[in-house]
Amino acid sequence: MPFNIVVPPLSESVLEATVADWLKKVGDQVQAGEILVMLETDKVALEVTAEQAGVLANIMHQTGDDVHAGDVLGILDEVGAGVSAAPTAPVAQPAAPVAAAVAESIASKDPSRVEATPVARRVAEVNNVDLAQVSTGSKVTKSDVESYIAGQQKPNYAQPAPAPTQAPAASPAPRVAPAAPQAPVAVDSSKREERVKLSRRRRTIAARLIEAQQTAAMLTTFNEVDMSAVQAVRTRHKESFKERNGIGLGLSSFFVKATIGALKAFPSVNGEIQGNDVVLKHYYDIGMAIGAEEGLVVPVLRNADQMSFAQIEKQIRDYAKQVNDGSLPIEALMGGTFTITNGGVFGSLMSTPILNYPQVGILGLHAIKDRAVVVNGEIVVRPMMYTALTYDHRIIDGREAVQFLVKIKELIEDPERLLIDG
């Protein structure tokens, strides 16, 4: 009997998805658990698998279609029912070595067999690129395809053609007056432009940023933090910490703990406006912004106040790996009470982050630079970092925002206090 292939449930913040790539075509036989189609949301790529063995009888939504949870993507028939492959006359098989070579050649040139991200497949399709020619031995990414396209567009420096044989001299032509200079020819700018459709994630990011700017009364305040004490702690304990926990002691865990200490001191920064009410959240689900190929994603550290330094570092490492290979579960992106974003990893010295709406606060971290500062009346060189807090002025006053950043500064500059306040 026919079986519907449907869009799986999405998170409460994801309303729709886009069909990124069908891995099977009508008439193909599939096994239970085999991936049929890839969907792309604004946050993650979703795999839709076959819940039973059968034959793909119909495709209801093609690549590029927008779909919602519960929509029917296609129809799967039981094996032997519905659509089936037409019988063909027997074909003489080549000798064993030749057959193996032919089979290997066919498989290597089948783009559907090349492991690639949905974005890479879409870029390859738009530019008529054979993914089999791009394959690097690992999952092909968008940047791999773009690098291949750039390499194919290099100018072809062909050898000059041989000079033609000399013809007999002709009688001199009559002298003609020089032609008037021609007007400049208009250049077709369309040949130097490229039109690329915004991805599902980029469209959603754009919509949410506009929503945050049009809804919240955003204001940003700054402070600077002396990172000497944290760097000293990391230097003293990095070897034993890694040996004991299997991961390095980074900066993220220090700032997560310091943020929690500041949120406890200023609960409104961990709140949310719902109509005429303010919802104060007495739990600490901290979102960590991670840069991805198609835009920023913010997976959440659940109950971060109950996590150890090692647990925080491991969870962030796992999230980063899942973001890069496209396996981040959509549940990891749901919720969140406050967000931390670190532009310093890209070299940013100072920025004004935009709220991850409906949250009312976001902490921006930046590059650590040696600067001359005055300590106890003397000029010394210290590793300094600018921090920024963007906040919703509707429920957070400037005094609270400044004190919030001061609290983080105090905790980072005296890491022992993290054991108490953080």
Q: Which long-range contacts (CB under 8 A, 24 or more apart) does 105-114 make?
A: 108/132, 112/23, 114/140
Amino acid letter, 168: P
**Partners of 46 in the β-ladder:** 39
Q: Burial level of 422, CB count in 10 A (0-12/13-18/19+)?
A: buried
**Gap between the Cα atoms of 102 and 93, Å rounded:** 11
Which of 65, 110, 397, 414 is catalytic? The answer is 397
Q: Burial level of 214, CB count in 10 A (0-12/13-18/19+)?
A: exposed
Exposure string for 76-99, b = 16+ CB within 10 A, e = fewer: bbeeeebbeeeeeeeeeeeeeeee
Amino acid letter, 331: E
Judge whether 93 and 21 are in contact, CB under 8 Å. Answer: no
DSSP letter for 9, please: P
Q: Enter the tokens of residue 48.
A: 């839709």
Q: Is the preceding peptide bond at 358 cis, omega within 30 degrees of 0?
A: yes
Which of 68, 237, 282, 393 is catalytic? The answer is 393
**Gap between the Cα atoms of 183 and 365, Å rounded:** 56
Q: Enter the tokens of residue 61.
A: 């939504």
Cα radius of gyration rounded to whole Å, the chain? 30
393 flagged as catalytic = yes
Three-state DSSP at 38 gives strand
397 flagged as catalytic = yes
Which residues are identified as catalytic?
Answer: 393, 397
